[in-house]
A and B are shown apart, each in its own frame.
Chain A
Amino acid sequence: METRLLILNADPVFQDRALSVFDTLEEIEIRIVRSLPEAISVLLEESFDALMVEGEAALALEQATNARQHFPSLGIICVVPPRYGSQINALAEQQKIGLLSSAWSCRRLRRELERFVHSLEMQSSPAAEGVDPCHSLIGNLNQFSAAEILQMSCLSQRSGRFTFKSGRGNSEIYLQHGSVRHAVFGSLEGESAVAEIFRWRQGRFYFEEGIISQVQTVDRPWAHLLIDNLQKLDETLELVSV
């Protein structure tokens, strides 16, 4: 399966140092956008493995940080001119954003980008297909959003496990007496995993009654989670309309 990379670059024709490296890489599909709202809109509609921001250090990192807040599980790197200072370095580290220098030699830049793409390939696990028809609730996220399904289950005080399967991977949400007890998606756990699943618009889900998690990573009531995540989603959509 090809790795899909979204590239945010305001001037992709003339400032194409990293872009030209991707012209030689196999097994990667890239899409180029010129602005952050466009990038957010594309990330909401389609599934990408990572985002690369190319541009001036401060602006690129600001855009990457913004994207990180809306897409916590997304792999993000910035390709920026050298001498960006320790403050930018620290912020990038805090937000788990990789920093590459556009001044590196072609060979080194290529090597680092290849390493990044390779790390994405290692992370991405193909979504397992096939849903057992014996599960008590099965459906498609095109028709019902994750928020609607969870709202319905929490209101009826259900206990069990929701499994969501999409191109981005598999995730699980455990309910106990109508409250979310545990959520996991890749390396994300707890509320950030719930936030991620809220954005999914494609994929399938099923519910298995009675499976309870021993681990508890979410301790807030469902109503609070719902309001917070819907607000976050609104903020993301607002960014698209800017």
Chain B
Amino acid sequence: MRDKMLETKLRLLTLQLESWKKLHDLITYGLDKAKPIVSAEQERQFTEIRANLLQETAHIFNELGILSELSGKAMNVLQRGVSVRGVRELSNEDVRRLEAEWNAVFTKLGIAQGQLKSRRKHLAGQNVLSYFFERLFRRPAVAQ
């Protein structure tokens, strides 16, 4: 069985994770002192990814129900990382914060993706009938 809502969430989450990974690649490049040249193309890619994240993050986090938890951290990353050159000129303290906040967002998204995939795998082994039977006869949660 396939749950449309779950598939939509998974699709949005995958897109979001992809953008965060690409952003990280460019941040890592910017912080690498051994690579002194930052091309206009790399700056364009960075702006493109940042623009996508800025407009999509709130919507996707809201759909996933993690807006309050992650929105602040995500915005901090996007506000600190203005460009590849900008990242290169950040102080050590700011770089440390940027990396910690990127990691917090990435970790949470990764975990959420794993949970959704697990749910999909579980659903794949069920048909509509068994799904509703399971819901009907599931033991209700008891408040302690």
Chain A contacts to B: CB under 8 angstroms: 12-14, 16, 19-20, 23-26, 32, 34
Say yes or no: A23 contacts B4, CB within 8 Å: yes
Q: Name the prevailing secondary structure of the B interface residues.
A: helix
Is there a chain A Cβ closer than 8 Å to B8's Cβ? yes
**Which A residues are in CB contact (< 8 Å) with B59?**
13-14
**Which A residues are in CB contact (< 8 Å) with B12?**
13
Q: How far is the CB of B113 from chain A (nearest CB, A)?
A: 15
Say yes or no: A13 contacts B2, CB within 8 Å: no
Q: How far is the CB of A224 from chain B (nearest CB, A)?
A: 34
By beta carbon, the residue of chain A nearest B6 is: A23
In this complex, how many residues of chain B approach chain A with their Cβ under 8 Å: the count is 13
By beta carbon, the residue of chain B nearest A19 is: B11
CA distance A4 to B17 in the complex (A): 21
Known: A13-B56, A13-B59, A34-B52. A24 touches B15 (CB 8 A): no
Known A-B contacts: A20-B8, A24-B7. Give 8 more (CB < 8 A): A13-B55, A14-B55, A16-B11, A23-B8, A23-B11, A24-B2, A25-B2, A32-B15
Say yes or no: B8 contacts A13, CB within 8 Å: no
Q: How far is the CB of A37 from chain B (nearest CB, A)?
A: 10
Is there a chain A Cβ closer than 8 Å to B105's Cβ? no
Say yes or no: B2 contacts A26, CB within 8 Å: yes
Contact mask B1-43 → A, CB, 8 Å, 1/0? 0101001100110110000000000000000000000000000
Q: How far is the CB of A114 from chain B (nearest CB, A)?
A: 14
Nearest 8 pairs between A and B by C-beta?
A: A23-B7, A13-B56, A24-B4, A23-B8, A23-B4, A12-B15, A26-B2, A13-B15
**Which B residues are in CB contact (< 8 Å) with A16?**
11
By beta carbon, the residue of chain B nearest A12 is: B15
Known: A13-B56, A13-B59, A13-B60. A32 touches B11 (CB 8 A): yes
**Which B residues are in CB contact (< 8 Å) with A25?**
2
Most B-side CB within 10 Å, residue of A12, A14, A26:
A12
CA distance A131 to B115 in the complex (A): 42
Contact mask B40-78 → A, CB, 8 Å, 1/0? 000000000000100110011000000000000000000
Q: How far is the CB of B120 from chain A (nearest CB, A)?
A: 11
**Which A residues are in CB contact (< 8 Å) with B8?**
20, 23
Q: How far is the CB of B37 from chain A (nearest CB, A)?
A: 16
CA distance A13 to B56 in the complex (A): 7
**Which B residues are in CB contact (< 8 Å) with A19?**
11
Most B-side CB within 10 Å, residue of A12, A14, A23, A24:
A23
CA distance A32 to B8 in the complex (A): 13
**Which A residues are in CB contact (< 8 Å) with B14?**
32
By beta carbon, the residue of chain B nearest A33 is: B18
Of the A-B pairs whose beta carbons lie under 8 Å apart in the complex, a sample of 29, sorted by A's number, is: A12-B11, A12-B15, A13-B12, A13-B15, A13-B55, A13-B56, A13-B59, A13-B60, A14-B55, A14-B56, A14-B59, A16-B11, A19-B11, A20-B4, A20-B8, A23-B2, A23-B4, A23-B7, A23-B8, A23-B11, A24-B2, A24-B4, A24-B7, A25-B2, A26-B2, A32-B11, A32-B14, A32-B15, A34-B52
By beta carbon, the residue of chain A nearest B19 is: A34
**Which A residues are in CB contact (< 8 Å) with B52?**
34
By beta carbon, the residue of chain A nearest B57 is: A13
**Which B residues are in CB contact (< 8 Å) with A23?**
2, 4, 7-8, 11
**Which B residues are in CB contact (< 8 Å) with A32?**
11, 14-15
